[in-house]
Amino acid sequence: MAERMGFFTDTSICIGCKACEVACKEWNQLPDDGFVFEATSYDNTGALGASTWRHVAFIEQQPVWTADGPTGDGDGGEKPFQIGPDGRWLMSSDVCKHCTNAGCLDVCPTGALFRTEFGTVVVQSDICNGCGYCVPACPFGVIARREDDGRAWKCTMCYDRLRGGLEPACAKACPTDSIQFGPLDELRGRAAARVAELHALGRTEARLYGESPDDGVGGMGAFFLLLDEPEVYGLPPDPVVPTRNLPAMWRWAGAAALTMAGAVALSFLGSSDRLLGRGGPR
């Protein structure tokens, strides 16, 4: 198997240009999203979906003003002031996390989802039967089905480009290197250095999300540097793959089945004894 590859998205240098969204749609020939006006700042795609494999979120934050000036970040002034008197924008390009323990992969009954030689998770659309089991199995709400054919779709990390020795289209198009692609271990080291750099500059709110192999999905193949809590970006604070307890559940189910089989066998033995008159005096 080739070295595991992944994405590191540094949201501190994302400028919200959406070049990644456009490059993803163009390379993968994804249909439009219906041109729905979301009325949420500059976000016209809303969320990840079957036809949106990269989604740039725009979060506007305004300070809380008191008699002593701005004291918080719009959430009641409880956090250290990091926004600035004119507010700030948080922008982040979201994508499938290509989890180490991928719930979508665990529940697929047809083998349409598979783990590639690069450690990524890909849907084979010609094998997908549209059952939809993978949709609720994703703790991030990434994978979805298209209304026209019912099949599931999500980011492939440009598997076809990787096989040709190219980087994914979104990373190639990013003008600020907010989206970085490469060997996952190398990216983790680079991300840790970037957080240390921001902390030294006084940006102590900077933190990594999804880089730890000890989280609820075994670590993410696409992780992020955030400047606020994960919930602010629409990310679950403690994601857990729903299928992580499947081995224990199967063991309990097996034990319960054996117990039931034993009880049924004993009841049949008792019935046989009574029919043969070995049940004692009546």
Q: Give the pLDDT band (50/70/90) at residue 277.
A: low
**pLDDT tens for each residue of 128-165:** 999 999 999 999 999 999 988 899 999 999 999 999 99
Q: Which of 136, 63, 149 is nearest to 104 (CA)?
A: 136
- The predicted pLDDT at position 61 comes to 87
Residues 217 and 45: beta-carbon distance below 8 Å: no
- The predicted pLDDT at position 262 comes to 73
pTM above 0.85, yes or no: no
**pLDDT tens for each residue of 8-39:** 999 999 999 999 999 999 999 999 877 777 77
Average pLDDT rounded to a whole number, residues 189-200: 97
% residues pLDDT > 90 (the chain): 66
Rg (C-alpha) for the chain, rounded Å, is: 25
184: phi then psi, degrees, rounded to nearest 5: -60, -45
**pLDDT tens for each residue of 52-88:** 999 999 998 887 666 555 555 444 444 544 666 678 8
- In this predicted structure, the answer to whether residue 205 has a pLDDT above a threshold of 60 is yes
The token pair that represents 165 in the structure block: 């020795």
Q: Which residues pair with 6 in a beta bridge?
A: 182
Distance (Å) of CA 105 to CA 46, 138, 147: 25, 9, 21
Average pLDDT rounded to a whole number, residues 82-107: 89
**pLDDT tens for each residue of 213-261:** 988 999 999 999 999 999 999 999 999 988 755 555 445 556 666 777 7
- The predicted pLDDT at position 83 comes to 66
Average pLDDT rounded to a whole number, residues 103-113: 95
Q: Can you tell me the distance from the alpha carbon of 266 to that of 224, in angstroms, rounded to the nearest whole number?
A: 58
42-46, 76-80, 97-101, 218-222: segment of lowest average pLDDT = 76-80
- In this predicted structure, the answer to whether residue 43 has a pLDDT above a threshold of 60 is yes
- The predicted pLDDT at position 45 comes to 86
- The predicted pLDDT at position 117 comes to 96
